[in-house]
Every structure is written in structure tokens, then in C-alpha cells.
Amino acid sequence: MTDAAETPGGEDYLAALAGIVAEVGDVAVELARVQVRELRALAAAGQLAEAQTAQRNARVLVHDMALRSIAAEVGGVMRFTDRTVQRRIGEARTLIEGFPATVEAWEQGRIVRGHAIAIVETGTSLPAEMWSEFEQLAISRCEKDTPNRVRGELEILAHRMHPRSFAERHEDAAATRCVRIVPGRDGMSDVVATVSTVIAEGIHDRLTQQARAIIDTRDERAAAHGGDGVAFGEAATAHSDSDDAAAIVATDQRSIDQVRADVFADLLLAGTPALDDTRDTTAGPLGAIRARVQVLIPAATLTGEDDGPCDLTGRSPIDPATARTLAGDTGMWERLFHDPTTGV
């Protein structure tokens, strides 16, 4: 006979589930209090270091030495290096001293750690005198959704509250665009390009479309080459003897990340995918694939009445000039009556 507690919808089952949910909720609140207690202790460590050097009218170097000494003592208990503890002390002071309402909401269980981190990371882009006003609005929004879902909304909120327009700040940030190489291990390196967000999203989307076209046509390419498959962007090996010469075609087993990286290198070195093995398949030439992005543009921004940020499908804000340019070139529109920035 089946136990009533194992029957979904039964009274015993619902009672057991309610007990588990209540227990998890109690633990979450208790954990939040412990985490906040640790933050307060770390912030106190930083304040102690500052007080020690302030009494002596000391230089910055002396303050750093005092902080490092305290961090080393605390690190011995936490099992962290003094550098790690110093970083966490700085983060704790920013949260405890700069966003006290956020700490209180976290300690009460109204928000979670992820919310607090999102509020600090987005709020610190504003001048310090605006942090209190920002966190009050941010907390009310965090109480209604998860940290990941609310982060984009908080970014838009911070940008709209900033005394300088987003367009001005984006122009300054765009001046820092660059390409750099970060050496890795085992003969590998990272090529890092700092570009506008909408350009970065477009690059990733186009590479993804091309990679999928390559993966989806593996069988067709294998049949066209008379083998099991073709490794796009990689040289096929050949074997010959005195009587015959036969091409040995490697099987394309690459992941989508690996194909994206190979297409990325081909596009930069050759201008178009140099070894386009989808040329004779239903997918068509890879070079014809174009990037796609989705942008949410407030009507006032579209008409030029407002110069605030626009929303790249909930991922991050983009500058209004780029958004207007994209809007002018698209034939695909969807009208929305809900503004995620105002909540109405």
C-alpha cells in the first residue's frame, strides 16, 4: 500500500512539503544573518586599519601595511590569503557603509546575497551621494524577482539616474575600445576585443549561426567529399602510394565552441570563411549569414526626446544612437506597452 505522504496532493504529502519549505526558508534567513555578520566583522577590520593610521597622520603606505597586517591575521582564521581578505574587506566596507538599507533587507531575508551584489555593482556607477536613493528603488524591485532577472533592470535604472547622460558616458567608454592578446598556456592565447555591446552581441550571433550551419551540414559535406566528414578550417591529410592516391577525410567532431573559434579566426584572417564547406549544401555560403540582435527602445528615445540607454533584450544597456540606427534599418517591429525601466 502507498504511504499517504508519497501521494502528491494528499494531506500528508502537502503537510510534509510545507514543513520542508518552511525549514528551507528559516535556514535561508539564518544564513543571511550569518553572512551579514561576517560582512560587518570584515568592515570593522578595515575601519580598524584606517583608525590606526589616522591617529598617526600616516601616509598611504603605512595604511596599506596596517591593513595587510590585519588581513593576514583574519586570513589565518578564514583560510584565505591576505590579498583575498583585503579585497573582501574593501567589498564589505562598500556594502556596509555605502548601502546600509540593502544590508538590512538582506539580513531580514527580503532579498538574497545575489540581489545585494547586483545592487552594489550597479549602484556604484553612480556618485556616492545618490547611492541611498538608488538602493531604495533597487530593493523594491529586487523583492519581486530573482537576482539574474533583475540585474538588467537595475543597470538601466542606474544609467537613467546618472547625472550625465548615457550617450555622453558611452562616447567616453567607446574611446577605450581596443584589441589585445592575453597569452595562455600550451600554445594558446585569448584575443580580447573591447567593443560596443551591440557589436559584441552581433559578432557572437553571427559566429553561432555559421557554426550551426557547419554542424547541421556535416552529413551533406561528408557525402560531397566521399568520406565520413570534413573538418572545416583544418587541413585534410592525404596518403599516396605508387598505384593510387586517396584523400583521407577527417571526421568533424568539433563542438559548437570549437567551430565558433575556427570561424572567428577564418573571418579575421581571410575576410570571409576561407574554407567554406557549406558552399554546395542547402545551408548556403557562410559569408551570407548576417548577425541578429533584439533591442527595446523607449518611444521617447526613438524620437530623440530622451537620450537615455536602450535595452539589448534584457542583457545590458546600449547607447541610444546605435539603437536608433538599428531601428532605422530594421523591418521587424513589435510594440510593447510595458516599460521595464518604470515598471508600467
CA distance 223 to 230: 10
Question: What whole-number distance in Å separates Cα of residue 7 and Cα of residue 268?
Answer: 60
The pLDDT score that the predictor gives to residue 2 is 46
Global confidence as pTM: 0.66
Check residue 296 and report its DSSP letter: B
316-318 and 310-312 beta bridge pairing? antiparallel
Long-range contact list for 167-171, CB < 8 A, 24+ apart?
A: 167/307, 167/319, 167/320, 167/321, 170/196, 170/318, 170/319, 171/319
Q: What is the pLDDT of residue 319?
A: 84
DSSP code for 178: E
Distances (CA, A) of 258 to 203, 231, 270: 15, 11, 18
The predicted pLDDT at position 238 comes to 36
Strand partners, 193: 179
DSSP code per residue over 275-288: T-TTTTSTT--GGG
10-residue stretch averages of pLDDT, the chain, 344 residues long:
58 91 93 95 94 66 82 93 94 97 95 96 95 96 93 91 90 94 91 92 91 85 60 40 41 87 88 60 58 82 84 78 81 64 47
Closest CA to 297 of 200, 156, 134: 156
Give the pLDDT of residue 225.
65
Distance CA 104, CA 110 (A): 9
